[in-house]
Structure 1
């Protein structure tokens, strides 16, 4: 078995095991997808990763393709790992995503296969954020390749806080217990059918309590914070990945109702997110889509549907999201 990968530029990377789980803020080794990280030039890096084959959550997809949310998690792991490895950011710091944009350029490369898929990620730091000569954040561009072919691109702005600042910040918020458990959510929320949101497993459904009127489609987030496939470590707020999944599932329902297209014929190929504030546990988080803003583009070779989504909590906009879905052929 060849333990070395080589990209089109001739750069080799060792890819026999995953990196230290602390570098990507994971509790379980099985949740680590990055296999190596190395510096190629000043503020440029090469990261390798392996796509999972049997993950309870990431491999539960009716289209047969790895989806944008897995790629977003791999991009997140790659970005955080280089800050620790090359910029000496302490493991104890808390990372906050300000905004992120993801585009899938060739979704056919993401077809799930019966052997591990190895990927390269080229990373360039675009800007740095400093405070009193201390690095506190950055914006980076990440280009992902499969079989040395460009597959997806991400650009993310993030910052981090030390534990003392994080504790001070969070004390200002009335934080609910993180051990609400499945009983709380099963009693208060009614999940949508798994197949309607592109899933086989009901435990991976986070969109509940569907409300539709002439103008909007709305769901409410409902999930078990102790479900390790979604929440690998304890949290005191709702993670960005869970919110992205809520948006995707609500979008699939909206497309089904407005364009009569099932989830297995839709692939999320573009997603842009701007986070305004943390969504807290213990209070309803709603996902709202304005039907009038859903645009079907049939003029291009690849037919797409594009629209904005708003995430709200206590009537406040917590995040703004723009998505584009590609319509797959039967």
Structure 2
């Protein structure tokens, strides 16, 4: 096994457990396994520990890694679909977190570099997404397909992930991103980085939460325009999950949620269980200008799942496209 460039290995529990007589507790128990915790939140670009899904990782060779993760039974934003299935977008977020962890911990990218999402796809298997009486413990198999560098510096990464729950396939996905050094980022986006006048546009009114599969208006990312299947992106920079930390553009997970909500409306407004998402991110979605979202229900065979194409435009340019494959919720 190749050693991680980041992790350090401390003594195991059985090696370091205090004798019962020295323990401040009434009974000291020596465990024969490691205790579980999340990975450092900085490695996955989260400010809140509660938003960290990954719990451990191990390098197998230059391109393969084993990881573990956990999905909570309840989450403030990734709520269970109809109370039955874990939200498929929590699978997308888990797969996204892998990229920043690998970049920093295994490929030597310093903190402060910017990551630009390029492509994200995820497919889930509903029978393995059911919420149980305990959090979902997951094993992740990660294969890096493309590792691009300039000199010794990582410039982009593409990887595929298999998510297993008790040995059964729960989800799979592919993610790619570019890694941009701070000096380059300042040249690309000087006005966004340095000019305080570029703040978010005023918060717009949400569509009815029930129409997009939500219960709280705070979690709605679409605002009505008066046209069917056409909305303005609702950008609430105070949202504690979608805007977990300060950014100078709309996060990719906000656009994924817009795709899910747009598909929900296009399919009639009843809750849907996304079976798959295929997303391409073309440009930064800026905070200070309206971003328009459109949803188009695609033709399908009678027995096939529903498919909806969702696109985002800003200043006449495509920001992202997403194809949502969905089945009615249970």
TM-score band, normalised by shorter chain: 0.7 to 0.9
What's the secondary structure of 1:164's corresponding residue? helix
Out of 206, 230, 236, the position equivalent to 1:224 is 236
Q: RMSD value over aligned CA atoms?
A: 2.3
Corresponding residue for 1:10? none
- TM-score for both structures, normalised by structure 1: 0.84
Q: Does 1:92 align with 2:112?
A: yes
1:138-180 CA distance string (max 9 Å, x none): 1111111111101111111211111111122111559775764
User: 2:81·2:273 contact (CA, 8 Å) conserved in 1?
Assistant: no
Q: Find the counterpart in structure 1 of residue 270 from structure 2.
A: 262
Write the distance in 2 (CA, Å) between the matches of 1:79 and 1:61. 26
Matches for 1:295-310 after TM superposition, within 5 Å: 295-299=299-303, 303-310=304-311
Structure 2 partner of 1:312? 313
The DSSP-based 3-state class of the residue aligned with 1:81 is helix
Pair 328,58 (structure 1): closer, same or farther in 2 beyond 3 Å: closer
The aligned residue for residue 194 of structure 1 is 209
For the Cα contact (< 8 Å) 1:221–1:284, is it kept in 2?
Answer: yes
**How far, CA to CA, are the matches of 2:106 and 2:236 in structure 1?**
35
Deviates more, 1:130-139 or 1:169-178: 169-178
Q: What residue number does 1:35 align with?
A: 55
Query: 2:280, 2:321 within 8 Å by CA — same for their partners in 1?
Result: yes
Partner of 1:9: none
Residues 58 and 67, structure 2, Cα contact 8 Å, conserved in 1: yes
Preserved contact between residue 86 and residue 130 of structure 2 (Cα < 8 Å) = yes
The answer on 1:161 being equivalent to 2:173 is: no
Q: Give 1 or 2 for the bigger CA radius of gyration.
A: 2
SS in 1 for 2:84: coil
User: In the aligned structure 2, how far is the partner of 1:271 from the partner of 1:176?
Assistant: 35
Does the 8 Å CA contact 1:177/1:282 hold for their aligned counterparts? no
The equivalent residue for 1:77 is 97
Structure 2 counterpart of 1:145, from 164, 169, 185: 164
- Change in 2 beyond 3 A, CA 1:194/1:102: same
Aligned residue number for residue 6 of structure 1: none
Q: After the TM superposition, which residues 1-330 of structure 1 pair with which residues of structure 2 at under 5 Å, given as runs?
A: 14=34, 16-59=36-79, 61-62=81-82, 64-104=84-124, 106-171=125-190, 180=200, 184-185=202-203, 189-212=204-227, 217-256=229-268, 262-263=270-271, 266-291=272-297, 294-299=298-303, 303-328=304-329
2:55–2:69 CA contact under 8 A, matched in 1: yes
- Structure 1 runs of 4+ with >4 Å offset: 172-181
In the alignment, what sits opposite 2:20?
none
Query: In 1, distance between residues paired with 2:75 and 2:143?
Result: 29
Task: Answer yes or no: is the 8 Å Cα contact 2:192–2:248 preserved in 1.
Answer: no
Greater fraction of residues in strand: 1
TM-score of the superposed pair, with normalisation by structure 2: 0.84
Deviation at residue 67 of structure 1 after TM alignment? 2.1
- CA distance in structure 2 between the partners assigned to 1:229 and 1:49 by the alignment: 18
Q: Contact 2:200/2:235 (CA < 8 Å) preserved in 1?
A: no
Query: What is the total number of aligned residue pairs between the two structures?
Result: 299
1:304 touches 1:326 (CA, 8 Å); kept in 2? yes
Cα displacement (A) at 1:61: 3.8
Shift of residue 281, structure 1, vs aligned partner: 0.5
Report if aligned partners of 1:52, 1:58 keep a CA contact under 8 Å in 2. no
CA distance in 2, matches of 1:76, 1:154: 9
